[in-house]
Amino acid sequence: MRANHFYKLIIAVMICEVAGLVGSVFTGPAIDGWYAGLIKPSFSPPSWIFAPVWTILFALMGISFFLIWKSDIFINPKERRRGIIIFFIQLVLNIFWSILFFGLRSPLGALVEIFFLWLAILATVIVFRKIKPIGHLAAWFLVPYLFWVSFAAYLNYSIWRLNVAPGRETMVYTEEKSSGFSNERVEKAITDYLLTQNDFSWKTQNNSHNFCAIENLMPEKELFPLYTWAYCGEYIIQNDELKILSGSSGPTEIDYPNELSFYDLGKFSHRKPGDGAHYAMDIEKIFPEEIWQKIFNFNRKNIIKKIEDIALINISGWESIKKAVDGCEVKSVWQHHDRTVKAELRNGGELSGVEPIIDEIMKLAVAAEPRCGKILMGTE
Q: Is the dihedral of CA 269, 264, 303, 162 positive or negative?
A: negative
340 beta partners = 354
Three-state DSSP state, 172:
coil
Backbone angles phi, psi at 248, to 5 degrees: -140, 140
Confidence (pLDDT) at 289: 92
Are residues 159 and 214 both part of a single domain? no
End residue of a domain, out of 144, 163, 182: 163
Instruction: Look at residue 169 and tell me if it is in a domain.
Output: no
Q: In whole angstroms, give the CA distance from residue 99 to residue 88.
A: 17
Residues 281-296 pLDDT 10s: 899 999 999 999 888 8
Are residues 181 and 137 both part of a single domain? no
pLDDT per residue as tens, the chain (380 positions): 566 778 889 999 999 999 999 998 888 777 766 776 666 777 888 777 888 999 999 999 999 999 998 876 666 778 888 999 999 999 999 999 999 999 888 999 999 999 999 999 999 999 999 888 888 899 999 999 999 999 999 999 988 887 765 444 444 433 344 578 888 888 889 999 999 999 888 889 888 999 999 999 999 888 899 999 999 999 988 887 888 888 888 999 999 987 656 788 889 999 999 876 688 889 999 999 999 988 888 888 888 888 888 888 888 888 888 888 988 989 999 988 888 899 988 888 888 888 888 888 999 989 999 999 998 988 87
Burial 146-168 (b: 16+ CB within 10 A, else e): bebbeebbebbbbbbbbbbeeeb
Backbone angles phi, psi at 267, to 5 degrees: -95, -10
Are residues 97 and 190 both part of a single domain? no
Are residues 17 and 146 both part of a single domain? yes
Instruction: Look at residue 317 and tell me if it is in a domain.
Output: yes
Are residues 109 and 208 both part of a single domain? no
Instruction: Look at residue 168 and tell me if it is in a domain.
Output: no
Are residues 207 and 318 both part of a single domain? yes
Do residues 310 and 340 make contact, with C-beta atoms less than 8 angstroms apart?
no
pTM of the model: 0.59
Q: For the chain, how many structural domains are there in total?
A: 2
Q: In whole angstroms, give the CA distance from residue 377 to residue 321.
A: 14
Q: Is the dihedral of CA 182, 188, 189, 190 positive or negative?
A: positive
How many Cβ atoms from other residues are within 10 Å of residue 235's Cβ? 23
End residue of a domain, out of 124, 140, 163: 163
Domain membership of residue 68 as a residue range: 3-163
List for the chain the helix, strand, coil content (%; round to 5). Answer: 55, 15, 30
Instruction: Look at residue 306 and tell me if it is in a domain.
Output: yes
Q: In whole angstroms, give the CA distance from residue 227 to residue 222.
A: 10
The DSSP line for 67-113 is HHHTS-TTSSHHHHHHHHHHHHHHHHHHHHHHIIIIIS--HHHHHHH
Are residues 28 and 77 both part of a single domain? yes
- The CB-based long-range contact list for 161-164 (8 Å cut-off, 24+ gap) reads 162/38, 162/39, 162/40, 162/41, 162/240, 162/312, 162/316, 163/38, 163/39, 163/107, 164/107, 164/108
End residue of a domain, out of 163, 196, 223: 163
Instruction: Look at residue 275 and tell me if it is in a domain.
Output: yes
318: left (phi over 0), alpha (psi -120 to 50) or beta: alpha
Are residues 137 and 178 both part of a single domain? no
91 Cβ neighbours under 8 A, 6+ residues apart:
15, 16, 19, 61
